[in-house]
Structure 1
Amino acid sequence: MTHMKTPRVNYAHLNATVNPKHVDSLLRFFEQGSKPVRQDGFGVEIEHLPVRNGTDLAVNYYEPNGIETLLNRLRPFYDAEKEHWEDGHLVGLERDGIIISLEPGGQVECSIGVLHHAEDLTASYAKFRGEMDPVLDELGFRLVNYGYQPRSGYADIPVNPKLRYAAMDDYLGRVGRFGPCMMRCSASTQVSIDYGDEHDAIAKLRVGTAIGPILAWLFRNTPYFEGGDNPYLLLRQEMWDHIDPQRTGIIPGLYDERFGWRDYAVDVLSTPMMFADLTHTPEAQRDGERPLEFAAFRENAGEIYPDRALNDYEIAHVLSTHFNDVRLKNFIELRHWDSLPIALAERLTQTVGSLFYDDAQFERLTSFLDGVSEEDVAAMKQDLQSRGADSTPFGRPWDFWRDFLGLHGLQRRAAPGDPHHPDVFQH
């Protein structure tokens, strides 16, 4: 198969828009994430949609017997020293190996890791649910795994008390499409993986960006949208591609042969920020007053943060305001997939492990994708979004991809009245 080569792009002109000390801060951060001695770790995040028993309407943070009550009831199972509070509200729990956090619409996220065997995911998750489910039964609601709320629309759900989300809501409500929908009603499964060095990280970013949408189709799990049937073949992709193109989609220049960590750092730092978290920026203190926490700036990081090396909190915030299909932190975060039931989440994690940690399989993938350009990946995504099962990603039929990705056992069967229901998978 012949692919177009990405044109050579000169990024040097962008350097004038960023602070070199900030660039160096990100480069050190990426370097610190390198694992030259192979560990092959996984971090898995599963977001859950809370719905009331009997009605399937969304449960929000503030209502009686809602998400705030749930978190408070779970506190005895988690470390008191690691609780997360904002403005007097409990918004997260943590203990070794697991973090419970909230997405903007009260979606309950369970982050598990670091795992070294994908098969360990189910056992770790079972402990989480063993503590969670009796409390949910008492409160009269449950957590479901879909890509979007089954009965409620975005206008029905208030944003939870995390200051970050109030700022995001203000910004994303003004740009693009789907911002409020994504924030309040969507849920995902994300898998994070290790990298050995810069070369390995860039290779994995490229492969993950190209393969992720194909896996998203095979593991799709969004039957509903805004209280009705979902009209989009890949709703999660449709939403993220149109929320704010300057910080979503394919990383600009990723398939340029010269692309490296510095290019990624420059892109992130030169993008106007949605908002600035200054809670850990000492210079924001004003005569003992509360620090300016989330300022709705539109400048880039160099115009907001001081002329010095960024601290780890500031770095994490800057990186977290970019939402590319595959995101580089001090690990690689693959972000393509709908929320999945645990058996499918484990199958997905196993597939990710076989593709990225099996040297022979990863070599097959990189060889097949050699010469693929950013334009090729964008065209593939559009083909998937418009033709679904009739699409031919990178010119190949679906039987090829199921075989190539080791997913021939993942077939979908018809279910009366609900062809996209999660139970339509067979293993």
Structure 2
Amino acid sequence: MSIPQAGGGPIESFGQLAELLESGCKPADQWRIGTEHEKFGWLTDSRRPLPYAGERSISEIFSRLEARFGWQPVREGEHTIGLTRDGANISLEPGGQFELSGAPLASVRETVAELDTHFAEVAAVTEGMGVRFMGIGAAPEWSHEDMPVMPKGRYRLMTDYMGRVGTHGTQMMYRTSTVQVNLDYGSEADMVKKLRAGLALQPVATALFASSPFFDGRENGHKSWRSRIWRGLDDSRTGMLPFAFEDGMGFQRYVDWVLDVPMYFVYRDGRYIDALGQSFRDFLKGELPALPGEKPTLSDWADHLTTVFPEARVKKYIEMRGADCGDRAHLAALPAFWTGIMYDDAALDAAWDLVRGFDAATREGLRVAASVDALQGEANGVKLADLAHAALSLAHAGLAGRGLGEEAYLAPLVDHVKTGRVQADRWLELYHGDWGRSLAPICEAASY
């Protein structure tokens, strides 16, 4: 999840809220690709989650990365809760999921190189520690009680609130991992087209990247349990955004939706102030109970934008959020897939043509079907296998048009479409076959 936002002065007019999003508009030659992924650390002698503190811990890895590779610490109180270097960040999810938020880069090839550098550096500093990292959409064996709790005030507030507004919120926080890509837009109209195509095709990404068929030490009946969790988290801030497909959609309409999402916190002087369930609209009027008489800054607004979790999210760029984490090849395939579709005009127009006829029920039905059955899913006569084949063809054409050879990164997705089998199917086959219905081998098998 996001680190505190910075750099925004007082909000003096309502129009500044949409202007913050509009300020993300860039000409196409300045569009960049930012890839983020999370992974679970585990101890090889016990298969337990990697703790925050101790000789073999996240804090020790942070210290070694800082000393050896020039990463700079991000602190909250006395704790290092992240690292930063050259536009990239390493941060922590609530249960210790180790996240690389990559720098905005010009090509998929560059983001893959960044990924490989990250893996090499982590491997170098963990040599001899008995620590590994696995890429999978949900922790297959660990219970909620097993998970370490990261020393971040934001997460303490969210943990309590999640238990009151949904059934799966703490599962999302502590026991899921994702890979996502952040992409630019050129104008308000371009943002709308990309957001609509991205939302409607997000079930395809969920299906192609599904890798979480186990939870609490057993099968869960879904190919992507991570996706299922998001449907039971908090309806006020998640989902497929039906309003985005209505006439009049633009920056202001998105702002209006975010303003109606209850707040989590306000960040002041290095600490998180509890504003759970309060209204940003009241904050704009100086009537926030948590800070009576005080009005927000643009940094507060940027923070609030990070507390909504739709399947595709708008900030000063668009986040594609529907995929489970997976192996290294899939971490490269996700930015390739979306870059091919979103950064080529012909591919984007064709992608929108694929889905423009879907109604809200079909889009939501595909979201559910993808989490349950991956490429075998369908809704209202739309088969995810067919939709994935068409979308992948567009991604391939869009990447080929860039002339950088990046279409090679789509290889695992091409195989999925050809066979109908995704990562989750492979895990299930091993579980019922070679592993003899034991999950003991999965940490090692899923590790980088």
Q: Would you say same fold, with TM above 0.5?
A: yes
2:17 maps to 1:26: yes
Matches within 5 A, 1:274-423: 275-279=264-268, 293-304=272-283, 307=286, 310-393=296-379, 395-406=381-392, 407-410=413-416, 411=419, 412=421, 414=426, 415-417=429-431
Q: 1:409: Cα distance to partner?
A: 3.0
Find the residue that maps to 1:321 and give its secondary structure: coil
Match of 2:43 among 47, 52, 65: 52
Q: 1:45: Cα distance to partner?
A: 0.3
Tell me the distance in 1 between the aligned counterparts of 2:66 and 2:124.
14
Cα pair distance change 1:165/1:424, threshold 3 Å: closer
Cα pair distance change 1:22/1:54, threshold 3 Å: farther
Cα pair distance change 1:25/1:77, threshold 3 Å: farther
2:214 maps to 1:224: yes
2:186 maps to 1:200: no
Asked if the contact 2:284–2:295 (Cα under 8 Å) also holds between the matched residues in 1, the reply is no
Tell me the distance in 2 between the aligned counterparts of 1:109 and 1:43.
13
Q: 1:423: Cα distance to partner?
A: 11
Asked if the contact 1:22–1:302 (Cα under 8 Å) also holds between the matched residues in 2, the reply is no
Tell me the distance in 2 between the aligned counterparts of 1:235 and 1:380.
15
Query: 1:42 corresponds to which residue?
Result: 33
Matches within 5 A, 1:111-126: 111-126=101-116
Tell me the distance in 2 between the aligned counterparts of 1:68 and 1:294.
25
Cα pair distance change 1:422/1:226, threshold 3 Å: closer
Encode CA deviations 1:203-237: one digit per residue, 9 max, x unaligned: 11111111111121111111421233333232122
Asked if the contact 1:23–1:265 (Cα under 8 Å) also holds between the matched residues in 2, the reply is no
Tell me the distance in 1 between the aligned counterparts of 2:295 and 2:252.
15
RMSD of aligned alpha carbons: 2.7
Query: 1:69 corresponds to which residue?
Result: 60
2:211 maps to 1:185: no
Q: 1:119: Cα distance to partner?
A: 2.1
Find the residue that maps to 1:218 and give its secondary structure: helix
Asked if the contact 1:255–1:372 (Cα under 8 Å) also holds between the matched residues in 2, the reply is no
Q: 1:69: Cα distance to partner?
A: 1.5
Tell me the distance in 2 between the aligned counterparts of 1:200 and 1:212.
18
Tell me the distance in 2 between the aligned counterparts of 1:168 and 1:243.
11
Cα pair distance change 1:402/1:266, threshold 3 Å: closer
Asked if the contact 1:188–1:338 (Cα under 8 Å) also holds between the matched residues in 2, the reply is yes
Letter in 2 for 1:404: A
Asked if the contact 2:283–2:296 (Cα under 8 Å) also holds between the matched residues in 1, the reply is no
Matches within 5 A, 1:82-101: 82-101=72-91
Tell me the distance in 1 between the aligned counterparts of 2:110 and 2:271.
42
2:244 maps to 1:254: yes
Q: TM-score, normalised by structure 1?
A: 0.85
Cα pair distance change 1:394/1:43, threshold 3 Å: farther
Letter in 2 for 1:65: R
**Structure 2 unaligned spans of 5+:** 1-10, 287-293, 393-412, 434-438
Percent of aligned pairs with the same amino acid: 27
Cα pair distance change 1:67/1:127, threshold 3 Å: same
Asked if the contact 2:22–2:251 (Cα under 8 Å) also holds between the matched residues in 1, the reply is no
Asked if the contact 1:122–1:342 (Cα under 8 Å) also holds between the matched residues in 2, the reply is no
Tell me the distance in 2 between the aligned counterparts of 1:40 and 1:350.
14
Asked if the contact 1:46–1:109 (Cα under 8 Å) also holds between the matched residues in 2, the reply is yes
Asked if the contact 2:157–2:276 (Cα under 8 Å) also holds between the matched residues in 1, the reply is no
Q: 1:160: Cα distance to partner?
A: 0.4
Cα pair distance change 1:306/1:72, threshold 3 Å: farther
Aligned length: 394
Q: 1:134: Cα distance to partner?
A: 2.6
Tell me the distance in 1 between the aligned counterparts of 2:67 and 2:445.
37
Tell me the distance in 2 between the aligned counterparts of 1:424 and 1:363.
39
Cα pair distance change 1:50/1:422, threshold 3 Å: closer
Tell me the distance in 1 between the aligned counterparts of 2:121 and 2:271.
37
Cα pair distance change 1:376/1:155, threshold 3 Å: same
Tell me the distance in 1 between the aligned counterparts of 2:271 and 2:67.
33
Cα pair distance change 1:371/1:229, threshold 3 Å: closer
Q: 1:271: Cα distance to partner?
A: 2.0
Q: 1:387: Cα distance to partner?
A: 4.7
Cα pair distance change 1:367/1:315, threshold 3 Å: same
Asked if the contact 1:61–1:67 (Cα under 8 Å) also holds between the matched residues in 2, the reply is yes
Cα pair distance change 1:305/1:161, threshold 3 Å: farther
Q: 1:249: Cα distance to partner?
A: 0.8
Tell me the distance in 2 between the aligned counterparts of 1:389 and 1:370.
20
**Structure 1 unaligned spans of 5+:** 1-19, 281-290
Tell me the distance in 1 between the aligned counterparts of 2:284 and 2:271.
12
Tell me the distance in 1 between the aligned counterparts of 2:14 and 2:201.
29
Query: 1:12 corresponds to which residue?
Result: none
Match of 1:140 among 115, 120, 130: 130
